[in-house]
């Protein structure tokens, strides 16, 4: 059964809750007029009631065995936060204008990840809407929202969300979210939602009062491990399957990004991810348009991406962290934490050509063999980035690449990202070199939990310790310092970087050799001593050749240049891009000696 409160119209509402631990369950209406409505058993541990005189906005708790009063585990809105009553929502009341929206193919996506609370001063869904035209002009055609399920307080990354169906009240609730999704589709932009199915946030989590949502068989990293494969796991699986379909059907999202799926432990014959892919495929067929699932998974297992017919789980795409780590270490020179596994140009070449950097090789950081061979999988199945919320915010200072490398290296990073044969993801502000940090922040009300978060973050920061002032994640300062300075995108070098991103995206969309995400028609070679990457991509209509120098000094070399009539179309060392001056010729000739400026790239086309 689908759990939750479903408004049926005519002030009638159907309530369904899974509470197998109890002998009596009732709906306790607390507003506008208090009354207690007993529920009936409906099988498999579910309780149900269809009640009259329940208008949208009605607030309620569930009463369990005349003792406990708890919010609805499948609440669609928590107007007073994670401890307050749930509220009935009329999901049919919104007037959608996206009936003709058919989505954007996976291989055409340019994704822009943002945090709703820090993307604008207002920190709301509706405040994002006026900025959509600017993002569209940049070339972005999809925004990804960090998790927006109800979390404690008003400051949080969203991964502490406690009510997966309830839209965060401080962001604008259900109405505000629908306005944003509708506006994206009106702009011709897709919208992606980051969802968390591997744990519940710790504050306001009353799930154990209802039933065996958790299992003792496994140890959860962020709290109790969810019960995906034990006794009565059918209801927990159904809960999250329903949630995924809810975001597609009720809120019209185009893709879900599934957080840390390697922490969804399921040893049944049909893994939860496979069942989820099957259900979403059914919905896609019913609606006549494709809905996408993309997984974050640290295991680098190709089973995540293989089709169900091939014995895989059927995810459409996966976040490829290895690509980021390669680019980051080459640009910054860092070798701390998991970056010790990276730093060689040949690894970035492998990421572009194959996908996973570790395909069952020894990982020094993990002290074990890691990964699987993804070379047979198409490029559009890998979402890549050079910055994202994790890779910035899990550093003590929340420092972006802007704080770590030169302006020349920022330009080079943009080329690495946007010339790759994968789906690129930008993190908000990256495109203009935002210099505000992105720190970790929370606003819990439980003092013990606040101390636990502080201690936990300090342990995580130990891998990436840098000199500087530790900012308390519970403080409002951490949140305020993470606010974007949007106006910077029109100033000085910030505008130049923005214009470079815009031009690279335009080339990616219009040059056939870049537009088609074909790893077979790609060669990535290195001159390792000089940290030089040579990228050659081609199609039936065109070819591109790019020289990338990750060294902080100029490199003299005589590279093997593919035979063609090469003409330079973009050079980051050109003074137009605030470079030191172009040294590479406008035309390339085989056997020619070249000087490639430090931290630069040059793109040729034929």
User: In terms of Cα–Cα distance, which of 492, 505, 482 is closest to 429?
Assistant: 482
301 C-beta neighbours (distance < 10 Å), count? 18
Judged by DSSP in three states, 49 sits in strand
Active-site annotation holder among 160, 275, 296, 341: 296
Name 95's Cβ contacts closer than 8 Å, sequence gap at least 6: none
Cβ(510)–Cβ(421) below 8 Å: no
In terms of Cα–Cα distance, which of 407, 423, 599 is closest to 493?
A: 407
Cis ω on the peptide bond leading into residue 32 (within 30° of 0)? Answer: yes
CA gap 273, 270 in Å, rounded: 8
160 is catalytic: no
Is there a catalytic annotation at residue 2? no
The Cβ of residue 170 has, within 10 Å, a number of other Cβ atoms equal to 17
Q: Which two tokens stand for residue 79?
A: 């107007």
Token code pair at residue 299: 């295991």
Question: Catalytic residue among 144, 203, 254, 259, which?
Answer: 259
CA gap 180, 124 in Å, rounded: 10
**Residue/partner pairs of 501-506 with CB below 8 Å, 24 or more apart:** 501/138, 501/139, 501/414, 501/418, 501/426, 501/431, 501/432, 502/137, 502/138, 502/139, 502/431, 503/570, 504/414, 504/415, 504/418, 504/419, 504/570, 505/110, 505/138, 505/139, 505/140, 505/418, 506/139
d(CA 150, CA 235): 21
Among residues 425, 342, 512, which one has the least CA distance to residue 142? 425
Give the burial string for 1-28 (b: 16+ CB within 10 Å, else e).
bebbbbbeeeeebebbbbbeebeebbbb
CA 600/CA 582 separation, integer angstroms: 10
Token representation of residue 509: 């969309």
| CA separation for the pair 353, 322 (Å, rounded) | 13
For residue 317, the cross-strand partners are 294
Q: Look up residue 441 and give its two tokens.
A: 């922040």
Q: List the catalytic residues.
A: 259, 296
């Amino acid at each position: 059964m689908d759990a939750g409160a479903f408004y049926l119209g005519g002030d009638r509402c159907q309530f369904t809750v899974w509470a197998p631990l109890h002998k009596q369950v009732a709906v306790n209406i607390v507003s506008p007029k208090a009354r207690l409505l007993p529920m009936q058993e409906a099988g498999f541990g579910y309780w149900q009631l269809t009640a009259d005189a329940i208008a949208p906005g009605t607030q309620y708790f569930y009463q369990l065995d005349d003792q406990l009063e708890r919010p609805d585990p499948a609440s669609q809105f928590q107007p007073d936060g994670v401890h307050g009553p749930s509220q009935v929502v009329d999901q049919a009341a919104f007037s959608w204008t996206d009936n003709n929206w058919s989505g954007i193919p996976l291989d055409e996506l340019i994704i822009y990840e943002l945090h709703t609370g820090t993307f604008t001063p207002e920190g709301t869904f509706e405040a994002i809407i006026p900025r959509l035209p600017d993002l569209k002009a940049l070339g972005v055609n999809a925004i990804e929202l960090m998790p927006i399920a109800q979390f404690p307080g008003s400051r949080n990354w969203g991964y502490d969300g406690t009510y997966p169906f309830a839209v965060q009240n401080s962001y604008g609730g259900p109405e505000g979210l629908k306005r944003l999704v509708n506006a994206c589709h009106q702009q011709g932009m897709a919208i992606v939602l980051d969802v968390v199915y591997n744990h519940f946030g710790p504050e306001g989590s009353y799930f154990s009062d209802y039933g065996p949502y958790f299992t003792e068989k496994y140890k959860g990293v962020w709290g109790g491990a969810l019960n995906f494969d034990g006794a009565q796991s059918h209801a927990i699986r159904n809960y999250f399957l329903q949630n995924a379909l809810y975001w597609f059907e009720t809120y019209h999202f185009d893709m879900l990004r599934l957080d840390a799926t390697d922490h969804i432990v399921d040893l049944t014959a049909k893994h939860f991810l496979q069942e989820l892919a099957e259900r979403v495929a059914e919905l896609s067929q019913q609606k006549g348009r494709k809905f996408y699932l993309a997984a974050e998974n640290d295991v680098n297992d190709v089973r995540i991406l293989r089709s169900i017919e091939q014995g895989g789980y059927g995810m459409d795409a996966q976040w490829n962290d290895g690509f980021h780590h390669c680019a980051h270490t080459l640009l910054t020179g860092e070798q701390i934490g998991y970056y010790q596994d990276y730093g060689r140009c040949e690894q970035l070449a492998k990421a572009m050509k194959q996908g996973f950097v570790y395909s069952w090789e020894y990982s020094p950081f993990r002290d074990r063999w890691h990964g699987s061979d993804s070379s047979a999988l198409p490029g559009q199945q890998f979402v890549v980035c050079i910055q994202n919320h994790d890779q910035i915010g899990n550093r003590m200072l929340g420092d972006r690449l802007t704080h770590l490398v030169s302006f020349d290296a920022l330009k080079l990073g943009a080329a690495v990202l946007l010339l790759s044969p994968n789906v690129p993801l930008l993190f908000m502000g990256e495109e203009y070199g935002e210099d505000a940090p992105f720190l970790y922040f929370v606003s819990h009300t439980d003092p013990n939990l606040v101390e636990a978060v502080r201690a936990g973050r300090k342990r995580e920061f130990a891998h990436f310790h840098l000199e500087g002032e530790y900012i308390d994640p519970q403080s409002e300062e951490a949140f305020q310092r993470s606010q974007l300075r949007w106006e910077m995108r029109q100033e000085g070098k910030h505008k130049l970087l923005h214009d470079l991103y815009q031009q690279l995206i335009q080339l990616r969309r219009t040059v056939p050799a870049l537009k088609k995400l074909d790893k077979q028609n790609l060669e990535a070679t290195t001159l390792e001593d000089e940290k030089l990457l040579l990228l050659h991509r081609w199609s039936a209509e065109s070819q591109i050749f790019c020289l990338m120098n990750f060294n902080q000094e100029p490199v003299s070399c005589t590279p093997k240049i593919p035979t063609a009539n090469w003409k330079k179309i973009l050079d980051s060392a050109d003074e137009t891009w605030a470079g030191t001056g172009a040294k590479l010729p406008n035309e390339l000739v085989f056997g020619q000696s070249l000087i490639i400026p430090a931290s630069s790239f040059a793109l040729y086309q034929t």
